[in-house]
């Protein structure tokens, strides 16, 4: 007899509405900061007097992860939607380490090369409920093992059509390679299910950054500022990807040529992939965390 589709009894993952509220808070704070910076006292300088030709930076992000994945979820399918933390036993925290190289060959144009090192998180759990994929049933009480792998590499171009002595803003377009894989399997039988997103994704967005001198007469050696960047995929019908970052910066200039800048802020990433109707596969992952970076400006 055909089996009835099990009810989804997992604790609900963070709703998309919660993510939207977080994004609104981030961008409200960012807009207030941008407005206050643009209204600051005038500075007598040429565009990019406090900008740079090249940037080499390293960043680290400490994330809280939340998400779900499932198989056989098409109409008539009997698969369950499985929580990454509560069902699969994956850790709720992850880390990302990355590198960015940027060059400004012309006044209004920036090219960027960046990426995050692959991060692998493993977990396991004795199931409190039965999980069903397309071909495998994992009964309650079964010991399963799981892993989550994330990685990203990208190339970007910025067009800074608003360019002032101490701040700039514009649009950005990126090509990002996203490597996202969730694996679950039975520790005894060797059965395994894997859901992966291994895609080259075109993205667009907008950005803002400022550097305001605060110490030093004539030749300032210390500056304060802020930054905000939004990037989202152009393939919402297949993979909905959003990357938001905003925060504050503190910079120091040495010998008039080299500058060091530290940044701290909030970063949100969201992956939503449930458009493979025929295959019945679904994957939702959200990462929210603290972003810290150190950059050398030349």
Q: How far is CA 93 from CA 20, 97, 121, 265, in A?
A: 21, 14, 9, 17
Q: Please report whether residue 123 resides in a domain.
A: no
Q: Please report whether residue 98 resides in a domain.
A: yes
Spatial separation of the C-alpha atoms in residues 233 and 36, rounded to whole Å: 30
| Statement: residue 51 has pLDDT above 90 | no
Q: Of 220, 294, 251, 285, nearest to 82 (Cα)?
A: 285
Residue range 131-174, pLDDT digits in tens: 998 888 999 999 999 999 999 999 999 999 999 888 999 999 99
Q: Please report whether residue 101 resides in a domain.
A: yes
Residues 6+ apart with CB under 8 A from 7: none
Task: Answer for the pair 113, 144: CB distance below 8 angstroms, yes or no.
Answer: no
Q: What is the mean pLDDT of residues 221-235?
A: 94
Question: What is the chain's Cα-based Rg?
Answer: 23
pTM of the model: 0.82
Q: How far is CA 134 from CA 5, 140, 166, 273, 285, in A?
A: 12, 17, 56, 17, 21
Q: Please report whether residue 27 resides in a domain.
A: no
pLDDT of residue 9: 43
Spatial separation of the C-alpha atoms in residues 41 and 164, rounded to whole Å: 13
Q: Please report whether residue 75 resides in a domain.
A: no
Residue range 163-208, pLDDT digits in tens: 988 899 999 999 999 999 999 998 777 788 999 889 999 999 999 9
Q: Please report whether residue 237 resides in a domain.
A: yes
Q: What is the mean pLDDT of residues 236-246?
A: 91
Q: Of 69, 93, 184, 179, nearest to 137 (Cα)?
A: 184
Q: What is the CATH number of the domain that holds 282?
A: 2.40.128
Number of domains in the chain: 1
Scored b (16 or more CB within 10 A) or e, 169-199 reads: bbebebebebebbbbbbbeeeebebebebeb
Q: What is the mean pLDDT of residues 264-287?
A: 86
User: In angstroms, how far is the first alpha carbon of the chain from the final one?
Assistant: 70
Per-residue confidence at 237, pLDDT binned at 50, 70, 90?
Answer: confident
Per-residue confidence at 43, pLDDT binned at 50, 70, 90?
Answer: very low
Among 101-105, 216-220, 279-283, the range with the most confident prediction by mean pLDDT is 101-105
Q: Of 51, 167, 156, 173, nearest to 100 (Cα)?
A: 156
Residues 6+ apart with CB under 8 A from 233: 201, 202, 203, 239, 240, 241, 242
For residue 220, the enclosing domain spans 32-67+91-116+148-175+199-297
Q: Please give the backbone phi and psi of residue 90, each rounded to the nearest 5 degrees, phi first.
A: -70, 145
| Statement: residue 3 has pLDDT above 60 | no
Across the chain, mean pLDDT equals 84
Spatial separation of the C-alpha atoms in residues 226 and 208, rounded to whole Å: 8
Task: Answer for the pair 162, 207: CB distance below 8 angstroms, yes or no.
Answer: no
Q: Please report whether residue 26 resides in a domain.
A: no
| Statement: residue 286 has pLDDT above 70 | yes
Q: Quick check: helix, strand or coil at residue 23?
A: helix
Q: Please report whether residue 82 resides in a domain.
A: no
Q: What is the mean pLDDT of residues 73-101?
A: 91
Q: How far is CA 151 from CA 240, 258, 270, in A?
A: 16, 31, 14
Q: How far is CA 220 from CA 18, 83, 263, in A?
A: 42, 52, 19
pLDDT of residue 186: 86
Q: Would you state the structure tokens that stand for residue 26, as one six-digit string?
A: 């981030």
Residue 207, beta-bridge partner list = 170, 229
% of the chain exceeding 70 in pLDDT: 80
Report the 10 Å Cβ neighbour count for 237: 6
């Amino acid at each position: 007899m055909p089996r009835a589709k099990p009810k989804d009894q997992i604790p609900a993952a963070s709703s998309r509405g919660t993510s939207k509220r977080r994004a609104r808070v981030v961008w409200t704070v960012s807009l207030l900061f941008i407005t206050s910076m643009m209204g600051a006292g005038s500075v007598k300088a040429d565009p990019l007097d406090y900008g740079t030709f090249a940037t080499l930076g390293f960043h680290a992000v400490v994330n809280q992860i939340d998400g779900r994945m499932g198989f056989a979820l098409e109409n008539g399918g009997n698969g369950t939607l499985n929580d990454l933390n509560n069902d699969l036993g994956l850790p709720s925290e992850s880390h990302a380490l990355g590198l960015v190289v940027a060059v400004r060959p012309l006044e209004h144009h920036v090219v960027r090369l960046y990426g995050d090192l692959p991060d692998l998180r493993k977990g396991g759990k004795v199931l409190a409920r039965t999980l069903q994929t397309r071909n495998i049933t994992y009964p309650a009480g079964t010991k399963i093992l799981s892993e989550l792998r994330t990685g990203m590499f990208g190339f970007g171009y910025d067009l800074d059509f608003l360019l002032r002595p101490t701040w700039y803003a514009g649009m950005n377009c990126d090509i990002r390679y996203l490597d996202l894989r969730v694996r679950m399997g039975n520790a005894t039988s060797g059965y395994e299910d894997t859901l992966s997103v291994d895609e080259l994704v075109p993205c667009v967005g907008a950005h803002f950054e400022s550097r305001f001198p605060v110490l030093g007469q004539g030749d300032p050696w210390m500056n304060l500022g802020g930054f905000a960047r939004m990037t989202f995929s152009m393939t919402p019908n297949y993979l909905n990807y959003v990357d938001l970052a905003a925060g504050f910066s503190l910079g120091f200039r040495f010998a008039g040529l080299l500058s060091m800048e530290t940044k701290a802020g909030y970063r949100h990433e969201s992956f939503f992939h449930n458009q493979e109707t025929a295959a019945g596969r679904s994957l939702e992952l959200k990462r929210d965390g603290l972003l810290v970076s150190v950059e050398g400006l030349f």
